[in-house]
Every structure is written in structure tokens, then in C-alpha cells.
């Protein structure tokens, strides 16, 4: 686990890169909660701004912008729609 996490957030990251990555990860996690999207995307957008003003390559900047967005959609569907449906079907059965 630590090895995988060290690839995402490495020791070579400078200030804006590290802050941007952390804010983006926190934003995606908060956004998976049903009403967390209103607060999570603020963190995510601020993280994108930090990433784009960092010293990463263009490819890494685009990856850090697009991949969390693509991960967020299935996570939001799972946590906001499917899990409550499963819960209510079990409780009301």
C-alpha cells in the first residue's frame, strides 16, 4: 500500500504539486457523498489550479485533471445511488 501511495504522492513533488494532488484527492472523496458534491468540487477545482501552475509535464497535468473526474463518476453512482438502493431493499424486505 505504501509503495502505491508513494507513486501518487512522491517526495520529489514541490509545494504546488503536493497541495494540488492532496486537494484533488480530498475533493473526489468528499464528492462521493450524496450532498458532498457541492463542497468536494471546490477542493477539486482549487487542486486543478495548483496542478496546472506546478512544474509537472503537460501529460501529467492532463492525467491529474482527467483521471480523478473519470474515477469520480462510478464512485458517485456507487455510493449515492446503488448503496442506498441496496440498503432500502434489505431493510424493507
Separation CA 57–CA 10 (nearest Å):
15
Alpha helices in the chain (DSSP H): 2-8, 15-31, 37-52, 58-76, 83-91
Judge whether 22 and 62 are in contact, CB under 8 Å.
no
> Where do the structural domains in the chain lie, given as residue ranges?
15-91
Q: What is the pLDDT of residues 13-64, one digit of tens each?
A: 778 888 888 888 888 888 777 677 778 888 888 999 998 998 888 998 898 8
Per-residue confidence at 12, pLDDT binned at 50, 70, 90? low
CA dihedral 10, 11, 16, 21 (to 10 degrees): 20
- The count of residues in the chain is 93
pLDDT at 4 > cutoff 70: no
Amino acid at each position: 500500500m505504501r509503495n502505491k501511495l508513494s507513486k501518487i504522492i512522491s517526495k520529489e513533488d514541490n509545494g504546488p504539486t503536493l497541495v494540488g494532488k492532496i486537494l484533488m484527492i480530498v475533493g473526489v472523496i468528499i464528492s462521493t457523498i450524496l450532498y458532498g458534491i457541492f463542497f468536494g468540487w471546490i477542493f477539486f477545482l482549487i487542486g486543478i489550479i495548483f496542478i496546472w501552475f506546478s512544474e509537472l509535464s503537460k501529460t501529467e497535468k492532463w492525467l491529474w485533471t482527467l483521471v480523478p473526474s473519470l474515477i469520480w463518476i462510478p464512485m458517485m453512482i456507487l455510493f449515492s445511488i446503488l448503496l442506498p438502493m441496496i440498503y432500502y431493499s434489505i431493510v424493507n424486505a
